[in-house]
A and B are shown apart, each in its own frame.
Chain A
Amino acid sequence: MNPLERYEPLVDDTAAFRAACDRPLPSVVRVNTVKTDRERAVRALEQEGVTFEPVDWHDDLFRLPDRSPGTNWAYFHGWLHGQEEVSVLPGLALDPQPGERVWDACAAPGSKTTQLSAAMDDIGTVVANDNNLGRLSALRHNTERLGVTNVAVTNQDARNFSLKPFAFDAFDRALVDAPCSCEGTCRKNPDVLDEWTLHHVEQVAGIQKGILTRAVQATRPGGTVVYSTCTFAPEENEAVLDHVLEAEDCELVPFDLPLETVPGVTEWDGETYDPSVERAHRVYPHHNDTGGFFCAKLRVGGESDAEAADGETVDEEPAADEEVAA
């Protein structure tokens, strides 16, 4: 069975959904603002005669229809990073600020990690964790290539992540871009559909619950946790949120994303979920001609001890960032 069939009851236009899933995705790059800005990146691509198209919902993304994103000067200089469009969504939802302490629980290969660093102007601390040492080498390659200096890399099981190596005891924000059954990436890698099993869905859902639980625990009261996957399976999305809402002191908060999405589902396969899971966003391939995605934003319960809750300044002193502007 093609697993996409099971999601047809959830989508508005099944034919368009299935047709979009069959079309390959173009190469997309994100401008790395740690090293350059949009204007210089555009100028470099034009000088080299590289064809590119803007992405209408995000200024720092370009589609490169003609060639691999890795073979141009702008990429060579670390001004561009190959990253699927929908993959920038959790970083936008998390909205980390310069000086904050941020945990990227499942960080490899680092596309989102380096996006978080750039959003923080490379100031503050991003702890990029992954349990897979091999994939961490890809992450390290990317942080170095993009010239990011505020990332600390750890190799732990995120479900029982220890802050012991660090001199602080909670994060301001955490991103759980969880391992999942990945049907949303079928436009890049159709094999995910052949390899899909319900058993894997059930197994990985347990891991997802464990990681999201730990992320809520490791984030300070009033802090923000974002949960994202590239699967359509409610077992790995809304059911995981439902579990953590029950088990930990946290709530789902409404938030906007800059493209067309639909709300999370409150019923699936005989199960019902907390009504607030509707505040999560489902991204279907046929709505924006992208990959599939899921993204939710949580506020950790309790009183925040500073006005640092959402986008306010925290106690880090600003560091040298002049070179970014040069």
Chain B
Amino acid sequence: MSDEPTNDGHRFDRLPATAAEREVPGRATREEVVDWWAERFGVNPSLFDGYSFWEKGAGKIWIYNGDAPDGVRIEAIGMTFLRTRQEHWKPTTRAVSRFGSHATRNLVVLDDEEARRFAAGEDQEVERWDGDWGYLIAAHEIAGETEPIGVGLYLHGELRSRVPKGSREELGSLTE
């Protein structure tokens, strides 16, 4: 065993600001997390200025807007935000729901029928998409604005719904 600091699954550790301050191997930095949202979804990094980011559980990043010391051992802080320590980072459904309306790219706006199928957890062909493959934000128009529905995985012309099983719902059509 080395004395190198490691990730402790029972503790919330604040992400280091930059790679220069990283002590735990493999841990994402705050800069990497914010840059990832900027690169992937075009979200302005200033959106996250007031928030802190934490790791508990390997690769699970939490976003928090309250007060807590580094290394705090409690049940939860804020909400789960991003899955790291894997080749393709994945935003959580909840993060996309809360922050995804700020996305300017890799956001696929579904029509009424597609949106209902997506919320029900169905995979579907969306061949008009000519952006990146990988994790997208699926959204629809409701109450006059574009609202994120959840995370979709786009591969080979197919949009796979990543809405968690417990959140899937058969929903109604929206009229204007």
Contact = CB atoms under 8 A, between A and B. Distances in A.
Interface in A68-121: 70-73, 76-78, 101
B83 to A, nearest CB: 14
Contact of B77 (A147, A153, A167): A153
A140 interface: yes
A124 B66 contact: yes
B94 A147 contact: yes
Contacts of A167: 67-69
B79 A168 contact: no
Given A152-B74, A153-B76, A323-B99, A122 B65 contact: yes
Most chain A Cβ neighbours within 10 Å, of B80, B98, B102, B171: B98
A2 interface: no
A18 interface: no
Contacts of A77: 97, 142, 147, 149
Given A147-B98, A149-B51, A166 B171 contact: no
Given A43-B143, A43-B144, A320 B171 contact: no
Contacts of B77: 151-153
Contact of B174 (A70, A73, A150, A317): A73
A319 B174 contact: no
A149 B75 contact: no
Given A166-B69, A320-B47, A323-B47, A49 B64 contact: no
B169 interface: yes
B3 interface: no
A74 to B, nearest CB: 8
Given A40-B143, A48-B172, A168 B47 contact: no
Interface string A121-133: 0111110000000
Contacts of B102: 323, 326
Contacts of A321: 50
Contacts of A35: 97-98
Contacts of B67: 101, 124-125, 152, 166-168, 316
A322 interface: yes
Chain B interface category by residue count: 35 or more
B169 A323 contact: no
Contacts of B174: 44, 47-48, 73
Interface of B: 46-51, 63-69, 72-80, 94, 97-99, 101-102, 119, 142-145, 147, 149, 167, 169-176
Given A149-B78, A320-B46, 17 more contacts: A35-B98, A48-B172, A73-B172, A76-B167, A76-B171, A123-B65, A148-B78, A148-B79, A149-B63, A149-B64, A151-B77, A153-B75, A153-B77, A165-B73, A165-B74, A166-B72, A319-B51
26 contacts: A34-B98, A43-B144, A44-B142, A47-B143, A47-B176, A48-B175, A71-B169, A71-B170, A73-B172, A73-B174, A122-B65, A124-B66, A140-B75, A140-B76, A149-B63, A152-B64, A153-B75, A153-B76, A166-B72, A317-B50, A320-B49, A320-B50, A320-B51, A322-B47, A323-B99, A326-B101
